[in-house]
Structures are given as C-alpha cells and as structure tokens.
Structure 1
Amino acid sequence: MKPLQTIGAFSAALAVVFGAAYGIGAAVGPGTPASTPAADHGEAHTEAAESPDLTPAGLQVSEGGYTLDLETRSLPADRPGTLRLTVRDAHGEPVTAYETEQTKQLHLIVASRELTTYRHLHPTRDADGTWSIPVDLPAAGSYRVFADFRPAGAEESLTLGADLTVTGRYEATAPAAPTATTTVDGYTVSLDGSLEAGAESDLTLSVARDGRPVTALQPYLGAYGHLVALRSGDLAYLHVHPHDEATNGRMSGPDVSFAATTPSAGTYRLFLDFKAGGTVHTAAFTVSTES
C-alpha cells in the first residue's frame, strides 16, 4: 500500500462525509425542534468538551505551522544507517527549542507498513536543529517515521509522520493474529482490556517471568511503561496516556495501565516498552476493536 495514496484516500473520504453532513443539515425543514442559536452553541460546546479527541495523529507531515523534514528518505535493509530529520516552523526555519515530555524533547517511532518492525528511538539534536540517530532496520519495505514533540511555548504536543523506504529484497509479512498474551526476552506480558471504537479505553498490561509477577519494573520515560498504538492500514498514531507516573526512582509492577483513544473500528498494533533488569523490552500485541 502506498502511504500517500492512503492519506489521500482518507482525506477524500473525510471531505465526502463532511460535505454530506452539511447538505443534510441545510436540508432540515419544518418539524425540526426549535432552538435558539445561543442554546445550540452551548450544547455543541458541552458535547465537544465531554468527547475524547478522536483525531488521528501521524498522518500529516505538516500541522499547526510545523513540518517534519525527513532528510533521510531511504536506508539499506539489515545494514547500519543514520536517520536525520529537522522540524521546521511556519517560516521554514529549524526548531531549536523544545519542551521536555516523558523525559525527552523528541520521541522518534519507526514502524514498517506491516507493523512487524518497530523502533522507539531518542535522537540527539545538533545546534542547527538537525536530529540524528543510528538505526538498523532488518527488512526491506515501506516504513513510517513519527516525530512526537512539543515546541517550546506550545500548548500541545504534535505527532508528525513521513515515509521512509528501506531498500533490498522485499518479502511481504503479515501482523500476528490478535492475542492477549505475548512473550519477549523471557518475559510474558498479558493484556487486559479492549479497544472500543470511537471512545477512550482502559488497558492494563501485566508482566511476569517464569510464572511469577514481576514487581520490580523500573521507571522508563517517566512511567513504568510506554505504549504506542498504530492503526493497521494507514498507521494512524493513537493518543495513549499512562495512568501512573514513576516517581522517586521506585520500582513497581506487575501491572502498567493506560488510557487509549481509538478513532475508529479496525485492527491496531500495540507496542509496550517496559524496563526490567536494567534493559528495555518491547512487547507487541494485535488488537481488534469492539464495535
């Protein structure tokens, strides 16, 4: 699937939906309950305030006056390379001042189109605003690069996305089937909870080793785990927030809880980064929403 075609089709579909909604609203005639403009405005404001943010992130290269300039457009498969990128403001100038979120100024996520390869990276920034980091991606194909950051003084963080091609002999792969349990590096991670389409859902992931709960999870990025959720197909980046922050360097576990906002029905790939034994491990799950 070509990313630009996916994004274009998604945008076109939105245009059709919103256009149809406008036409239906304009056609409403007699028989519609009367209401005052002030009441309508207040009701709409209340509904908006109570509804979760369902806008998918990562589908755009530019948003809010900022652009992700991915200088590295291709890398060879299974060979060391370097990713370089710059975040530019509305004037095209490099952004050189950022807020720190989850202990970092910029989180970089790299995922293959099939969601079988995943990297959570933290590049370093030069004085000129260029971010860079070594990376080794195992398989050829189309990848998506996400930059998650908040410019200094901005009220909200942004997640911008751009495409990366990894060259070499391509072999198609498919994500693993939905499951509630997975094993990584000798740790067994279980998922409790489900994703509900169009709503915020609570997810709890529990870590065990040799059949025993792990109660010595170490703080990682300001929490006891970091969860990224990507929608299969267009790789929309979900808004996910940990319920508990890690403070004073204390250990915790075996449970790590999150709130995930799911914009639509579909299949999603969840990637949990957790730290145990001084090493960061990544557990992956495939989850389908409940309609």
Structure 2
Amino acid sequence: MNTGVKITAFAAAVAATFTAAYGVGAAADPIDQDPRPATHHAAHDGGTLAGHGHGDGHADTTPAGLQVSQAGYTLDLKTARLTAGEKGELRFALRDQQGRPVTSYRREHGKELHLILVSRDLLTYRHLHPTRAADGTWSTPVTLPNAGSYRVLADFTPAAEGATDITLGADLAVSGTYQASALPEAAATTTVDGYTVTLDGELAPGAAAEVTLSVSRNGRPVRDLQPYLGAYGHLVALRSGDLAYLHVHPNGEPGDGTTRPGPGISFTATAPSAGTYRLFLDFKHDGTVHTAAFTVQTGKPATPKTAGAHGDHQH
C-alpha cells in the first residue's frame, strides 16, 4: 500500500489518533502543586498546563485545551472540515451557560482571543487572531498543507466578573491524502528562516522551571528583537498525545527597565506530567514574526544536536 492513502483510510487514521490521544490523556494525569486557578496574569510568573477555576473557589485541574466546555463556556466550532492545500475559512463562537454567544472579552496582550491551530502530529502550527462579528461569531482565513486531524484551541478571558483565562479545544478534520509523520527528535537547537534558536533549561513535571531561548543569525546574537503582542517572545507548549496546552509569557516585558531585547528570552513554566512536549516560540525581528519549534522531554536535558526547521508554521 502506498504511504499516501486517500480519505477513506484517512478517516480510519483519524479514529485511531483519537483513541491513542484518549489513552495518553488518561494515563498522564496532571500534577497540580498549586490549587489556584491558572490565569494569563499568573503565567507571567510561571504558566502551567493546569485547568481553570469555576468562579466558585474550586479549581479544575484538567489540563487546558482538552475540553470543549469548561467553567460554564463552550466552544461552538462551526467549521467541521477543511480541505488540505485549499484556502478556507474557520468559523466558531464561544457560548456561555445560557447558550448565548460571548461578545465581551478582556484583552490579553492586545487581543481579545488567541487561536492556536495545530495538527495532531504537532508538525503544522498556526497562532492566529481571528475577527469577531457583532453576533459573536469569530472567523479567520486559513490554508492547511496536510490532511489529518487538527486541534482548534481558543485562549480567551470573558469580561464577566470573576472570569479567569480559559482555553477550550475542539477537533477539526482536514481531508485529502494523508501521510503519517514522526515527531522530530528532541534537540537543543533548531533553525527557522535563517535564525538559530537555542534552548537552555528543561521542563520539570509538577515544578516550576525556567527555560531560556536564545536567538542568533549568521553566528551573531540577535540583540534587537522587536515586541510582538507586547512581548519579545511568546511560548506555547503542547503535550504529545493529547495536546494539553500551555501558553506562557516571558519573565519581563519591553520597557520595564530590566528586560533586554534579546538574544535570550526566558520563561517560567510547569509541566503537568512526564512526557514528550512540542514547544513553539514566536519572536519578531526585522518586522517579521518567526516560529521556532522544539521537541523536549520532561526531566531530561535537550539533546545537543541541531535540528532543522520541521513542519509548517505560520501566523
């Protein structure tokens, strides 16, 4: 049988992927040493993959992004399927407990909502900022290169009193010729668009750990990174298997008098469990946003080898 199979086999592959993802998620229980609900503001001091509060004093320890409904809000994905290689439109709404579309949000880093679109194999990644219509429907154009199962992650904070940051997730099918690909091996260095990014530090299960990502070009450190969404870098981590989601921001920000515009960007983060994670760093230089991707293992140092830019990343 050819490695590239048509949509009939693709459907079976998607079903198998869901089954595997469920098994990993069930086996990799979250480790939560701090029962307080995680928020974007808390993430400045160390983001975790733990879930969010319900507003009743009880925290949901489910890792972010694994549920379509949480804390009284639901992700209503109106686009069920796209076609690989073709421009399409992704549409969705966020609904409250009464089923009403949410139309009022708190801005986080200049945006009402951050949308992450990632393939189950963690090779295709999009960090998008869709447009909201007056009726609460969000939409954004998108072109995805490969067929397969994707995860749509909506990261937002409702304006309602007492609401905290929430990340909801739903599955999206992309039809076409499907070909399975392996996750790149763990590496301390990666390249993207002529830049070299080096990872120093490691994630630790259940404990806050600092990691620093340093940017260079042509062998020289980049010391003039530009702010992107109010920071010199944005980091998203996804757990392989179930795609549990972590979005943290750097330690420090432009204009605070101490944070330098490169070459290093430091983050403090907590992994919920041992396992394999894919890290995506967004940084801006010379007016363009670039995304560097790493595969890491919790509790293990990154392998000192250079890995080329794998997969497909776009803003």
TM range (shorter): 0.7 to 0.9
Q: Mark the runs of 5 or more structure 2 residues left unpaired by the alignment.
A: 1-13, 39-45, 51-62, 301-315
Q: Under a length normalisation based on structure 2, what TM-score does the superposition of the two structures give?
A: 0.77
Which residue in the other structure is 2:282 paired with? 273
C-alpha deviation, 1:246, in angstroms: 2.2
Which residue in the other structure is 1:165 paired with? 173
1:198-277 matches, within 5 Å, as 198-247=206-255, 252-277=261-286
Which residue in the other structure is 1:147 paired with? 154
Q: Separation in 2 of the partners of 1:7 and 1:140?
A: 18
State the percentage of identical aligned residues. 62
Which residue in the other structure is 1:27 paired with? none
How many residue pairs were aligned?
Answer: 260
Q: Separation in 1 of the partners of 2:189 and 2:34?
A: 37
Flag the 1:191–1:221 CA change in 2: closer, same or farther, 3 A. Answer: same
Q: Separation in 2 of the partners of 1:172 and 1:8?
A: 19
Is the contact made by 2:74 and 2:96 (CA closer than 8 Å) also made in structure 1? Answer: yes
C-alpha deviation, 1:170, in angstroms: 0.1
Q: Under a length normalisation based on structure 1, what TM-score does the superposition of the two structures give?
A: 0.83
CA-based RMSD: 2.4
Higher helix fraction: Structure 1 or Structure 2?
Answer: 1
Is the contact made by 1:271 and 1:283 (CA closer than 8 Å) also made in structure 2? Answer: yes
Which residue in the other structure is 1:184 paired with? 192
Moved more, 177-186 or 51-60: 51-60
C-alpha deviation, 1:48, in angstroms: 4.4
1:68 aligned counterpart, secondary structure: strand
Flag the 1:226–1:167 CA change in 2: closer, same or farther, 3 A. Answer: same
Residues 174-201 of structure 1: CA deviation (Å, up to 9, x unaligned): 1111000011000100000001112221
Which residue in the other structure is 1:131 paired with? 138
Flag the 1:143–1:47 CA change in 2: closer, same or farther, 3 A. Answer: closer
- Asked whether 1:287 is paired with 2:270, we answer no
Higher RCO structure (Cα 8 Å, ≥6 apart): 2
Q: Separation in 1 of the partners of 2:282 and 2:68?
A: 25
Q: Separation in 2 of the partners of 1:47 and 1:174?
A: 34
2:111 aligned counterpart, secondary structure: coil
C-alpha deviation, 1:13, in angstroms: 5.7
Is the contact made by 1:218 and 1:251 (CA closer than 8 Å) also made in structure 2? Answer: no
Q: Mark the runs of 5 or more structure 1 residues left unpaired by the alignment.
A: 18-45
Which residue in the other structure is 1:74 paired with? 81
Query: Which structure has the bigger radius of gyration?
Result: 1
